[in-house]
Amino acid sequence: MLAEERWRARTASHEARVDALVGAHLKRRRAGRAHPVHDFLFTYYSFKPAQLRRWHPGVGVALAGSPPHASWSGYVEGPDGVIVGPSVVERRAATVAWVRALLTATASRPAHHGCFGLHEWAMVYRMAPGDVRHEAYPLRLGHDGTDAVVEAHEIKCSHFDAFRFFTDEARPRNALTPTRELQPSLEQPGCLHAGMDLYKWAYKLVPLVPSELVADAFELAAEIRELDMRASPYDLAGLGYEPVRIETTEGKRQYVEQQRAFAARGAVVRDRLLAAIDVEPLPLAW
């Protein structure tokens, strides 16, 4: 049980943190300005800033006093205060089971650090000028140079939601053929996209997991996204992003060093998510 002063303090702290994390995005959105790096966190991922800002204590935690949660969908009055109700646990059973299986399988595998972010290069391989996603920003090596980098490397992308954006010409160059069905058997903890997707699995578990954990996963995803795009073929120096030149030996070293650090941080978030859905009363629902 959380006393009223405690949950009010946690609510205020969480709201202030999220305001700082999403403030620049909201300002750009009001001005109608796109951002090639950070818009991804609000377009590819479906959780809205207002949803991220709303604080939840997680399943099994009762809020004493008069919390606003009493009027929120899925919450009920328990003997010790307002809690996430059993109907939410039952309704999310399939989602929880799938996420648990995916995260457990991912954590069981060794991290692979040899992809060098080539998925972003494969997404523009042999694409005609004018058709690339971030057309407002030039390719650092031009179209021919970008194609040459793809052709000079063996691509080993294991993540379906990256692979599905490969150009038709790039897909046969990948060592794997990821599908949604194969995701639990292919996901590996060194993958930048698997690290970013910890945010997706966190918000899909709301309100069963505490909002501080969702915010931690969002913050990790935002930082990983920066490396993802710094290592991409786009020239984003004008936005303050120094490129990680993965086409060079030094660039590969830099990429792997940061990839390892993000994998270590992702492992902590992954373990915390698993711990959050393996506490009472969740196992009692299935």
Residue pLDDT, tens place only, 267-282: 999 999 999 988 654 5
* pLDDT score, position 132: 82
* pLDDT score, position 272: 97
Structural contact between residues 208 and 283, judged by C-beta atoms closer than 8 angstroms: no
Q: Percent of the chain beyond pLDDT 70?
A: 97
Q: Percent of the chain beyond pLDDT 90?
A: 93
Whether pLDDT at 285 is above 90: no
Q: pLDDT digit string (tens) for 203-228?
A: 999 999 999 999 999 999 999 999 99
* pLDDT score, position 136: 87
* pLDDT score, position 256: 97
Structural contact between residues 100 and 277, judged by C-beta atoms closer than 8 angstroms: yes
Structural domains in the chain (count)? 1
* pLDDT score, position 181: 94
Whether pLDDT at 75 is above 90: yes
* pLDDT score, position 283: 40
pLDDT averaged over the chain? 94
Structural domain of 148:
4-285
* pLDDT score, position 128: 86
